[in-house]
Structure 1
C-alpha cells in the first residue's frame, strides 16, 4: 500500500478537485497528479 500524507485544502479547493474527477472513484491524488502533468506540459 502506498504511503500517504495528509494535506490541508480549503473547502472550495476540495470542491473544485471533486468537480475535476473523471470518475467518482478517482482519488484526489490522481486528480492532483493529472493537473501537475498538464501544468508541466504547458510549461514546455
Structure 2
C-alpha cells in the first residue's frame, strides 16, 4: 500500500531536490560567512595595529 511507484516518485522527487539544494546552500553560506568574518577580523586587527 505504501510502495513507491512512478507517480509517487514524480511528485516526491522535486520536493526532495528543493530540500537538498536548500541544505547545500546553508552549508555554502556558512562557509562564505566564515571567510568574510575572517577577512573582516584581519582588517580590524591591521587597523588596530596602526
Q: TM-score range by the shorter chain?
A: 0.3 to 0.5
Query: Between Structure 1 and Structure 2, whose CA radius of gyration is higher?
Result: 2
Normalised by the length of structure 1, the TM-score is 0.39
Higher relative contact order structure (alpha carbons within 8 Å, sequence separation ≥ 6): 1
Normalised by the length of structure 2, the TM-score is 0.35
